[in-house]
Amino acid sequence: MSAASEPAVPAEGDLELAADQAIAACGGDPQEAVKALLVAIDFLEAEANELRAAVSKGYSRGRQAGRRDRNESD
């Protein structure tokens, strides 16, 4: 696997800054910030699922998680 396909790990300071920005965007309420982030994650997961469905099976063969699990019962 190439380094380009590895997810980038943000620096600790970057995470702190991002958390502060998310809380500030929600009026300083951490609970509202968590709710907003959960909604954003749900949206991104739905979008990723739509994109996976749109990619041709021949192109993505062996690249999509979960495909092996379905074939194990064969």
User: How confident is the model over 7-62, as pLDDT tens digits?
Assistant: 677 777 899 999 999 999 999 999 999 999 999 999 999 999 998 888 877 766 66
Residue 34 lies in a domain: yes
Residue 73 lies in a domain: no
Q: Confidence band (pLDDT; 50, 70, 90) for 1?
A: very low
Please tell me the pTM assigned to this model.
0.59
Q: What is the reported pLDDT for 38?
A: 97
pLDDT surpassing 60 at residue 5: no
Residue 61 lies in a domain: no
Q: What is the reported pLDDT for 57?
A: 72
- Range of 33's domain? 21-54
The CA angle 42-47-50, to the nearest 5 degrees, is 130
Burial class (CB in 10 A: 0-12, 13-18, 19+), 23: middle
Residue 3 lies in a domain: no
Residue 62 lies in a domain: no
Residue 16 lies in a domain: no
Structural domains in the chain (count): 1
Tokens at residue 60, please?
């993505």
